[in-house]
């Protein structure tokens, strides 16, 4: 059987996809889908009052569905802002981080931004503390520290540029 080798550099893994099954892969999202996802992220969390185990299964299904809007809903619903370590259980934090990483990676590719800039944009939509997320980013991928500048980021995602 002939397969495509799909390399996942971050996880240092290789996936095999049979050549006749590539139609099952979802194309990258469009800029309009990213904008709608950001509006979902800015929305009010919709947390059901059911048992955590049931909600966790639903969140896991949404994360693995491959649908960017469902992924955005999971990130929005599990986002605890600055109090992430206080209010979340271990499994809740794991699900949030899984969904956050996936949406972050897709946004980075579509918006053609650095990981740091994409994370700032995502954290701004989630109203998360940008300093804490910057520290987490530095732990994952060391970068050259630069003096912080308080600049307003444009809301329009199509014309993103750094202000000097």
- For residue 110, give the CATH number of its domain: 1.20.58.1290
Could you list the residue range(s) of the whole structural domain that residue 132 is in?
30-137
* Number of domains composing the chain: 1
pLDDT for 132 equals 53
Stretches where the chain sits below pLDDT 50 are 133, 142-164
pLDDT for 9 equals 78
Written in H, E and C, the secondary structure of the chain is CCEEEEEECCCCEEEEEEHHHHHHCCCCCCHHHHHHHHHHHHCCCCCCCCCHHHHHHHHHHHHHHCCHHHHHHHHHHHCCHHHHHHHCCHHHHHHHHHHHHHHHHHHHHHHCCCHHHHHHHHHHHHCCCHHHHHHHHHHHCCCCCCCCCCCCCCCCCCCCCCCC
pLDDT for 138 equals 53
pLDDT for 159 equals 42
Does the residue 14 lie in any domain? Answer: no
Does the residue 42 lie in any domain? Answer: yes
Does the residue 34 lie in any domain? Answer: yes
pLDDT for 22 equals 76
Does the residue 8 lie in any domain? Answer: no
């Amino acid at each position: 059987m002939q397969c495509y080798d799909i390399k996942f550099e971050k996880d240092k893994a290789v996936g095999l996809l049979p050549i006749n099954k590539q139609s099952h892969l979802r194309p990258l999202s469009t800029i309009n889908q990213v904008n709608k996802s950001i509006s979902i992220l800015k929305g009010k969390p919709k947390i059901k009052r059911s048992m955590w185990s049931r909600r966790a299964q639903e969140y896991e299904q949404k994360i693995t569905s491959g649908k960017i809007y469902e992924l955005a809903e999971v990130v929005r619903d599990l986002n605890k802002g600055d109090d992430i370590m206080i209010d979340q259980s271990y499994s809740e934090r794991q699900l949030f981080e899984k969904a956050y990483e996936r949406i972050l990676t897709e946004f980075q590719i579509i918006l053609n931004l650095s990981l740091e800039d994409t994370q700032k944009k995502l954290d701004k939509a989630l109203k998360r503390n940008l300093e804490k997320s910057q520290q987490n980013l530095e732990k994952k991928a060391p970068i050259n520290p630069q003096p912080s500048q308080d600049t307003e980021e444009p809301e329009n995602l199509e014309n993103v540029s750094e202000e000097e």
